[in-house]
Structure 1
Amino acid sequence: MEQTIFHHMETVRTITEKTIKKIPEEISDIIPIGFNNNIRWNFGHIAFVQEKLVFGLLGEELIIPKKYELLFGSGTKPAEWEESPPSFAEIGGILTEQKTRIKDFLPGRLNEKLPNPFTNRGGITFYTVGEAFLFSFYHEALHIEAIKRLYRSIHSK
């Protein structure tokens, strides 16, 4: 079963990597009416949350730049950014590198208890790294759908 889970992660992340390569970076900071965030924020948020769910909840050091939490953490939005966000190339590189680190770090650990149960903003509590990791696939897919909605909204004008 573990191989199936890692294969699924590979599938989900590959979709994300292909999507960031298809979207022109010059439209990535547009926030259409009715949206709180932009395309760049969604890609950065995927990277930050995955890092937190896989490494952070286990007490491991986060490898992504510290500014990602300030820019892309839950509850953040581009309207409040006080520094320039990373380029698509940087975010894309982090997404790819993160996938490799997860494949090296997590095998054999999916049933490992988290040092502290984690309850997300939706009220779902995770007790093991596997529970948090599996949720991350759903989370990533939600944000890929948000990116698609943003892209359609931008191009409909």
Structure 2
Amino acid sequence: MSSYLFDQLRFVRSNTLKLVDGLEDERSEIIPAPLNNHIKWNLGHIYFIHERNAFRFVKEKEDWVMPESFPSLFSPGTKPENGQKMPVELSEIVRLLENQIDRIESTLKDRLKEKTEPYTTSMGLHLSSVEEFLSCCLYHEGMHLERINVIKKLI
């Protein structure tokens, strides 16, 4: 039986993917003024944070699926160079996003209450269990979903 948390993660992810369905790679890299990133960066960043929250802090390195270029492109504090083509296609990021929640659930569905390496987010939220890290992903993806929506309207 699926946890409501995983249902929520799928709901938010479904909305993220719907928002970018049919978007061309070139348009996904437009950075509208006054913003400092684009749709592709937001999508890659969502993927990066989910992987980190689900697998790194839980010490599940073997389930971690992270393309080599992603940390330098999509970690917190990174931003794309305006006008410079990113070395990853939008379709690759979308493909990774489409399968991510299923991978997370299959690894962690029976471990939600498990304690993890503690971490405090940049906003000051203290996380110390699998469930807390995954719940934080809901807020994080929702925030970037809205940013993608704004960028899409501006381009």
Query: Which position in structure 2 is the counterpart of 1:95?
Result: 97
Are 2:147 and 1:150 aligned?
no
User: Which amino acid in the other structure matches residue 33 of structure 2?
Assistant: I
Are 2:132 and 1:131 aligned?
yes
The root-mean-square deviation of aligned C-alpha atoms, in Å, is: 2.0
Query: Which position in structure 1 is the counterpart of 2:8?
Result: 8
Task: Report the alpha carbon displacement of residue 92 of structure 1 after superposing the two structures with TM.
Answer: 0.7
Are 2:76 and 1:74 aligned?
yes
* TM-score using structure 1 length: 0.89
Q: Give the aligned length.
A: 153
Contact 2:29/2:85, CA 8 A, preserved across alignment: no
- What is the rounded CA distance, in whole Å, between the counterparts of 1:83 and 1:59 in structure 2? 33
Identity among equivalent pairs (%): 36
Task: Report the alpha carbon displacement of residue 2 of structure 1 after superposing the two structures with TM.
Answer: 6.1
- What is the rounded CA distance, in whole Å, between the counterparts of 1:84 and 1:149 in structure 2? 21
In structure 1, list runs of 5 or more residues that go unmatched. none
User: Which amino acid in the other structure matches residue 4 of structure 1?
Assistant: Y
Task: Report the alpha carbon displacement of residue 127 of structure 1 after superposing the two structures with TM.
Answer: 0.9
Range that drifts further, 61-70 or 36-45:
61-70
User: Which amino acid in the other structure matches residue 126 of structure 1?
Assistant: L
Q: Secondary structure at the match of 2:144?
A: helix
Structure 2 counterparts to residues 27-46 of structure 1, below 5 A: 27-46=27-46
- What is the rounded CA distance, in whole Å, between the counterparts of 1:83 and 1:151 in structure 2? 18
Q: Secondary structure at the match of 1:85?
A: coil
Rate the CA distance shift 1:83–1:67 in 2: closer, same or farther, 3 A.
farther
Equivalent of residue 114 in structure 2, options 93, 112, 137: 112
Are 2:123 and 1:122 aligned?
yes
- What is the rounded CA distance, in whole Å, between the counterparts of 1:71 and 1:26 in structure 2? 17
In structure 2, list runs of 5 or more residues that go unmatched. none
User: Which amino acid in the other structure matches residue 3 of structure 1?
Assistant: S
